[in-house]
A and B are shown apart, each in its own frame.
Chain A
Amino acid sequence: MKKKKIHLTNILLAIIGVSIAFLPFILKNVQEERLLNHIFVSDFQTEEKQVNDNQTTSIEEKLKLIVNHYDGNENIAIIEKSNDETKRAEYLSKGINEIKELQNKGLFPQIDMQPEFTIINSNIKTFLNTQHPQHTVTIWEAFFSTNGVEINISMDTQTNKIYEYRVSPNNNKPLSITDHDQTTTKLANYFNVKVSEKKLIDKRTEKIYTLADEDVFISFFSDRYFASFYLIPAFEAEKRPF
C-alpha cells in the first residue's frame, strides 16, 4: 500500500514537472488569443496633429526638405499628386513663363522657346517633414521639349521659382555660355539673394558652387551643348567631396 502511494506520488510529481515546463505554451496561446482582435485605445489630441500652413518656409528650408529626403532622412515624407492634362498644361504654362522670366533676366537667352511643348514626364511632389509638418514644399518636376530643346525643371509651385534647371539643345546649336560669374550674379538676382566671394569647386565635375546669403549655394555649369543650374543648402554643399 505504502509502495503504491510512493509510486503515485512519483508519477504525480513527474507530471507536475512536465506541466510546468509546458505551461508557458498555454500562457503564450492565452496571451495571443487576448492580443488578437483586441483593440488598444489611447488618448488622441486632434489639435496637436493639425498642420499650420500659415508659417512661410524659407528657400533654405525648402531645399533642406528636398535634399534630406534624397539623403534618406526618415522624417521626410513625399506626397505625389496625380494630375490630369489640364493641370499639367497649367503648370507647364507657369514653368514656361518662369523660363521666360529667366531669359528676361539674361539667363540662357539662346534657347528658342517655341509655343509647341511636349511634356515627356511631370510630377507634383510635396516634401513634408513629419517632425515639423509646417515645413513643406511642393515641387513640379517636369521634363519637356520644345523645338528640339530638352528642358528639366524643378519649380516651387508656391513661388513659381525654378530651383533646378537643365537644358540641352538637340539641334547642335552651341550654348556658348562662358561668363560664369556674370551668370551666377544674374541667378542671384533672380533668386533675390546676394552672392558672396566664397566659392567651392568640385574637382571631379568642375562644378563651381557660389555661396549666396550664407545659407544657399548656387551651382552653375555649362559646356557647348549643355547648361544647368541648381540650388543646394550650404550644409549639403559643404558635405560634398571637393
Chain B
Amino acid sequence: MKLFWKIFYSTMIVSVSCFSIGSYILIDSAFQDSIKREATSVFEENDILRYSLQKELREASVSDFYFADEKNKESASNEELLITVASSLTIYESGGELTFRISNQDGDIVYDNFNEDLSNDAVTQVSNQSKGYQVKNVNGKYFLHAMTPLQLHGDLFYIENFREISDIFASKNDQWTMYMYITLLMIGIGAIVMLVTAWLLTKPIYKLSKATKQIAKGNFEERTIVSSYVEVEELSRNFNFMAEHIEEMISQLKEANQRQETFIGSISHELKTPLTTMIGYADMLRSKKLDSEQTFMAANYIFQEGKRIEELTMKLLDLLVLKKRDIETKPIKTTAFFSPLQQYMEPIFEKANIDFYVEAEEAMILIEPDLMRTVCTNLLDNARKAIDHDHGEITLHGFIHQNDYHIRICDNGKGIQAVEMGKITDAFYMVDQSRARVQGSVGLGLAICSEIIHLHKAELTFDSEFGKGTCVTVIIKGVKR
C-alpha cells in the first residue's frame, strides 16, 4: 500500500475513533448524570411521600380522623388503614402534586393515583432493607420508577412513585442525531483535508524517488530541490550530498581506471622498447655471421636491455608492495641516518664529477630508515641525472622548521619546466625520456618516493627553475631535538 493511502487511512481512522469515543463518553456521561439526578429527585419525592404517610398513619392510630367509630378502626387491617390514609391525602411539593402507588409484599397494587399503566414486576426484588429504581418505556414515554419499603405493624408495603424522563431520552437522541451529522461532515471535510495533506506530504518523496531512478539510470548530475518541511528538506539535502559524493567517487574511479590503463600502457611500452632491441640484436646474432666486435656489441645491447627490464620489474614490484604495506616507524638520529647515505653516494658523485655537500641539524626523527633511505637515494640520483655540465653541485640540507624536519636536496642541474611539475610523480613519467633511458632510468623513482612519503604521512615538495636547478624537500612530521 502506498504511503499516501497509509497516511490518509491512519489519520482518518484515528481521528474518527477519537471523535466517536469522545462523543460517546461525553453524551453517555451527560445522560447517566441526568438519570442519576432524576433518580435522586424521585427518591426525594419518595421520602416526602414516606414522611407524609408515616405522619398520617401515626395520627390515624391516635385520632379518629380517618375512622368514624372506634369499632371500624380496631377491625381495620394494616392494608385497609394504609389505603384509607393514602386515598384521603393529596401531597404537593414544589413541582406539583405527587402521584404514587402502594403495593403489598406480594407485588399487588393496593393503592394507585398514577394514571399510566406501569407494571410493578420489579417491586418484589426490593427487600425491606433496600430501595430500587428502574427506567421503563411505556407507549414511547420514559419513566423513572422508584420503590422503597414501608413497614406497617409488621406488614411490608412498597411506596412507588414515578417521574417522566422522556425529555432526557429526547435530549440524548437529539445529541446522537447531532453527532451523526457532525460525524458525516467531519468524515467529508476530514477526507478532503487529509487527501490534500497526504499529497503534500508524499509529493517530495515522489520527487526524490524520481531522482533516485535517474541516478540508477546513470544520470549522476540529477539533483532534487525540495523545500516542503524540515525532514524532507534534510533528506533532500542528504540525497544531493550522496549524489555528489557518488558522482565524485565515480569520477575518481574513472580517473583511477584511466591511470591504470595509462600505467598498463606505460608498462607495455617500457617492456616493448628493450624487447624490440633485444629481439633485433638476437635476430642479428641468429641470422648473420658477425665478427667478434659486432657479436660483443649485440650481446652487450641484449644484456643492458635485459638489465633494464630486470630493474623495471624490481621497481614495479617495490611499487606494488608499497601500495599494500603498513610501515613501522622508529626514532632515528639524523646523524645516524645521513652518514651512511653520504658514504654510499659520495663515490657515485665523485665518478660523475659532482660536488656533494651534506649539512644536517642534529635531531631525532620518526621514520622507517630503509624506506626513507630509498627516498633520499632516489632524489639524490635524480639530482645527479639532472646535471648535464661539468660543475655539478648537489647539497643535502637537514634542518628543523616549526616542529617538522626538512630534508632539502638541491642541484644546479637543468631544472624542470613549470608545465611538467604536476606530472613528475606519475609512474613512468620522465622529463627527458631519451636521456633518462640512456642513464638507465625507468620513470618509477619519484612514484616510489611519493608512495613512501605518503606512508610516512610526510610531504614532498618541488621547487625548480628551468635551467638553474631543482630543490626537493621532504617534510617529516614531528621531531625531537
Given that A13-B13, A20-B17, A36-B135 are contacting pairs, would A51 and B28 also be in contact in the complex, using a CB cutoff of 8 Å? no
B50 contacts the other chain (CB 8 A): yes
With the chains together, A51 CA to B176 CA distance in Å? 45
Asked if B129 contacts A44 (CB within 8 A), the reply is yes
Enumerate chain B residues within 8 angstroms of A46, measured Cβ to Cβ: 128-129, 149, 151
The residues of A with any CB-CB pair to B shorter than 8 Å are 6, 9-10, 13-14, 16-18, 20-25, 27-28, 31, 35-46, 49-51, 53, 72-74, 76-83, 86-87, 126, 128, 130, 133, 136
Contacts of B129 in A (CB 8 A): 43-46
B52 proximal to A (CB < 8 A) = yes
Bound together, the chains give a CA A74 to CA B40 distance in angstroms of: 14
Q: Is B1 an interface residue (CB 8 A)?
A: yes
Complex contact B94–A72 (CB within 8 A): yes
Can you list 29 A-B contacts with CB-CB less than 8 angstroms, sorted by A residue number? Answer: A13-B13, A14-B9, A17-B13, A17-B187, A20-B20, A21-B19, A21-B20, A22-B183, A23-B20, A23-B24, A24-B24, A25-B180, A37-B122, A39-B134, A40-B132, A40-B133, A41-B132, A42-B130, A49-B50, A50-B54, A53-B55, A77-B48, A79-B55, A79-B56, A82-B90, A128-B48, A128-B51, A130-B47, A133-B51
If A31-B28, A82-B88 touch, does A42 touch B131 (CB 8 Å cutoff)?
yes
Which residues on the B side are within 8 Å of A24 (C-beta)? 20-21, 23-24, 27, 176, 179
Interface residue B93 (Cβ < 8 Å from any Cβ of A) = yes
* Chain A residues with CB under 8 A of B55: 51, 53, 79, 126, 128, 133, 136
Q: A83 to B66, alpha carbons, bound, how many Å?
A: 9
Which parts of B61-92 form the interface with A (CB within 8 Å)? 65, 68, 88-92
Query: With A21-B183, A24-B179 known to touch, is A43 a contact of B130 (CB < 8 Å)?
Result: yes
Q: Are B93 and A74 in contact (CB under 8 A)?
A: yes
Q: In the complex, are the beta carbons of B68 and A130 less than 8 A apart?
A: no
Taking chain A's interface residues, is the majority helix, strand, or loop, or is none over half, making it mixed? mixed
**Which A residues touch B135, using CB under 8 A?**
35-38
Besides A17-B12, A40-B39, A130-B44, 17 other A-B contacts (C-beta < 8 A): A6-B1, A20-B13, A21-B16, A21-B187, A23-B24, A36-B136, A37-B134, A37-B135, A39-B126, A39-B132, A40-B133, A45-B129, A46-B151, A77-B52, A80-B90, A130-B51, A130-B93
Report the Cα distance A44→B148, complex, angstroms: 8
Q: What's the Cα separation between A50 and B58 when bound, in Å?
A: 11
Q: Which residues of A contact B65 (CB under 8 A)?
A: 81, 83, 87
Min distance, Cβ B154 to any Cβ of chain A, angstroms: 13
- Asked if B137 is at the interface of the complex by the 8 Å CB criterion, the answer is yes
Chain B positions within 8 Å of A18 at CB level: 187
- Determine whether B125 belongs to the interface, using a CB cutoff of 8 Å to chain A: yes
Whether A9 contacts B1 by the Cβ 8 Å rule is yes
B5 at interface (Cβ–Cβ under 8 A)? yes
Q: Mark B241-272, 1 if CB is under 8 A from A, else 0.
A: 00000000000000000000000000000000
Separation of A16 and B94 alpha carbons in the complex (Å): 51
Considering only CB atoms, which chain B residue lies closest to A16 in the complex? B13
Q: Decide: B91 and A17 in contact? CB cutoff 8 A.
A: no
- Of the four ranges (under 10, 10 to 19, 20 to 34, 35 or more), the interface on chain B belongs to 35 or more
3 smallest CB-CB distances across A and B, nearest first, come from: A44-B131, A24-B24, A41-B132
- Least Cβ distance of B284 to chain A in Å? 77
Q: Are B58 and A78 in contact (CB under 8 A)?
A: no
Q: Nearest-CB distance from B157 to chain A (Å)?
A: 12
Residue of A nearest to B122 (CB): A39
Q: How far is the CB of A111 from chain B (nearest CB, A)?
A: 29
Contacts of A50 in B (CB 8 A): 54
**Which residues of chain A have C-beta atoms less than 8 A from B149's C-beta?**
44, 46
Alpha-carbon distance A129/B206, docked complex (angstroms): 78
Most A CB atoms within 10 A — which of B20, B58, B122?
B20
List, in ascending order, chain A residues with CB within 8 A of B98's CB. 77
Cβ-defined partner of A79 (8 Å) among B13, B52, B148, B183? B52
Q: Judging by beta carbons under 8 Å apart, are B88 and A81 in contact?
A: yes
Question: A9's closest neighbor in chain B, by CB?
Answer: B1
Query: For B44, what are the chain A residues with a Cβ–Cβ distance below 8 Å?
Result: 130
A residues less than 8 Å from B132 (CB atoms): 39-42
Complexed CA–CA distance, A83 and B183 (Å): 61
Residues of B within 8 A of A80 (CB): 89-92
Q: Closest approach, in angstroms, between the C-beta of B468 and any C-beta of chain A? A: 77
B91 touching A81, Cβ below 8 Å = no
User: Closest residue of chain A to B133, judged by CB?
Assistant: A40
Query: CA A18 – CA B28 in complex, angstroms?
Result: 21
Residues of A within 8 A of B133 (CB): 39-40
Query: Which residues of A are found within 8 Å of B88, using beta-carbon distances?
Result: 81-83
In angstroms, Cα B12 to Cα A17, docked, is: 7
Query: Please, which residue of chain B has its CB at the minimum distance from the CB of A12?
Result: B9
In the complex, chain A residues whose CB is within 8 Å of the CB of B28:
27-28, 31
A72 contacts which chain B residues (CB < 8 A)? 94
Does the CB pair B52–A126 fall under 8 Å? yes
Residues of B within 8 A of A23 (CB): 20, 24
A9–B10 Cα distance when bound, in Å, is 13
